Amino acid sequence: MTLLIDAWVVIVAWNATYLFRLGFERWIVARPDYDTWVLFGVVLVYLLASAACKVPQSMWRFCGFGEVKRLTLACAVAGLVCAAGVMGLQLYKVPRAVLALHPLVVWVGVCLVRIAYRMLYEHARARITGGQGDIRRAVVLGAGEAAKRLLAGIHRQGWIVLGLLDDDPAKQGARIAGVPVLGPLDAVLDKGVRGAATHLVIALPSASAAQRRRAVELAGRAGLPVLTVPSAEELRDGQAHVDRVRDIEPEDLLGREAVQLDEAGIGDVLCGKTVLITGAGGSIGSELCRQVARFGPARLVLYELSEFNLYSIEQALSGQFPNLPLVRLVGDVRDAQHLRATFSRWRPQVVFHAAAYKHVPLMEDLNAWSALRNNTLGTYQAARAAAEAGAERFVLISTDKAVNPTNVMGASKRAAEMVVSSLVEEFTHTRFMAVRFGNVLGSSGSVIPKFKEQIARGGPVTVTHPDIIRYFMTIPEAARLVLQAAAIGDSGQVLVLDMGEPVKIVDLARTMIRLSGHSEQDIPIVFSGLRPGEKLYEELLADADATVPTPIPRLRIARLRESAASLQVADWLAHMHQADSLPDAEVRLRLRTLVPEYVPAV
């Protein structure tokens, strides 16, 4: 259609130029006999020039300066070719003024047609939408079923989709719901393809993690804000609709394939059971609650110190699982008497211990005693209370910072693993186990929320060191790993996830800056230096530890070495329970007596 209209404009401009040159009396009769054939050749040249300059690929309702530049180039090239052709063929009866003026008249004509169309479109759109809000124009990466469903509903939200991109050659050049497929995904880097887009939307929920990660990387290099449709898991769980775009979330940045778990085995452990979760309102605890609720427990006991967090998770679970009986308890794992009373009353069969202080620098200075009391002594009290109440399984959520710890938080979590293991022989009816994983993207205190806030403020984004790396997993993946540990773990075991390649924190910061539509010139990255107790890299296993495989791919069981200190846990606990408060230096000394591999950072 575009080429037909442009051809009509070329014909009108040719006649208008004759009229201007020869006047009303002679503009028809004074033409040479071969003028029709000349006009035919002129139209053909203009159309070929337009195609070469990608003029037909543009959308008139978004015509802007870039389109005008392409039209100018096409008209200039076509005008020169036509003039050279007429002169070379010695067709001297065609007036030279016509050859000179015709490209200018064509250029004015094609520009006016597009401008008029855009004015009418904007007027009609303003009448429909009331003219409220900014116009958001998107190019969508993906042209599959998700893109079709997105197009069906996104226009009602005030969005205008300029085009689609897809690597499938069969889709390129086609139209989906009236929107053209402009090229492969890497065409998003072409300004001519992006046109007047204000946003990019990734619509690849069913693609592999590697494909989604590639799409995110390409979109980030385009310099526009990037959004995405909900993931396949969100759509499957009914948490979102495909026509509702959202910001890029941590799991989109990670680009990892989710571990496939034994859902049937987990269901056997949780279905119809009373399950208690400490720290139920925290980042990991709240996701654990959601994951456990899916398996139909008889009762879910929420044990949480923060009143607000407890209220938040209770409201979320009540809305999503209205038939699940909830017990909402404000409680502190440092309160042994309250723990024993709680476990004695509700008799949980499965306990997930997620209550912990985990912020490394915060626990390093002035709060070391609080970290030890909560992370180590609180874990021991919760584990003993669970066993005394007849619990079948007790699962401790540990961390990679427990391996060769250099900080109080990591040492207190390694000590927690050891005090839980010390109960194995005393309570043979309870399985005690721990799950160890790396940093959780998007959890409270993680870098993602911090980077988001800094970008929203206009920067700078602070990274402690240019070489610092971390292993990452998503909150849902961490929660599923914990459930799997409860199903297959045996007493005294620590389960470890093969977390793949570590991520450089500075690269993560750069990606988030790009996905927000900015560059490092707009939002700089500042290196602030390593914080107290912080490592450049984390480990999931100590050198002397060994692992054995499990039926779950990428999930292994660590058989941890025993030391003389670990055999004296009972004496160590007895001394610690006698202390009311200890200074930081004394806490570090006490932790080293139990965890000899703990070497505080200088």
Q: Return the active site residues.
A: 401
**Closest C-alpha to 2, from 46, 60, 43:** 60
Strands (E), 360-430: 393-399
Between vectors from CA 574 to CA 569 and to CA 576, what angle results, nearest 5°? 95
What residues does 309 pair with on adjacent strands? none
**Closest C-alpha to 137, from 122, 148, 115, 119:** 122
DSSP letter at 374? I
Instruction: Establish whether the linkage from the previous residue to 169 is cis, with ω within 30° of 0.
Output: no
Contacts of 479 (CB under 8 A, 6+ apart): 284, 287, 288, 290, 291
**Closest C-alpha to 78, from 120, 38, 44, 119:** 44
Q: Which residues of 53-62 are buried (b: 16+ CB within 10 A; e: fewer)?
A: bebebbbbbb
Contacts of 154 (CB under 8 A, 6+ apart): 138, 161, 201, 243, 245
Strands (E), 114-195: 136-141, 159-165, 175-176, 179-183
Supply φ then ψ for residue 470, to 5 degrees: -145, 150
- Helix 408-421, helix 584-594: angle, nearest 10: 40
Over its C-alpha atoms, the chain yields an Rg (Å, rounded) of 34
**Closest C-alpha to 350, from 324, 316, 314, 389:** 389
Contact between 113 and 9 under an 8 Å Cβ cutoff? The reply is yes
Contact between 566 and 418 under an 8 Å Cβ cutoff? The reply is yes
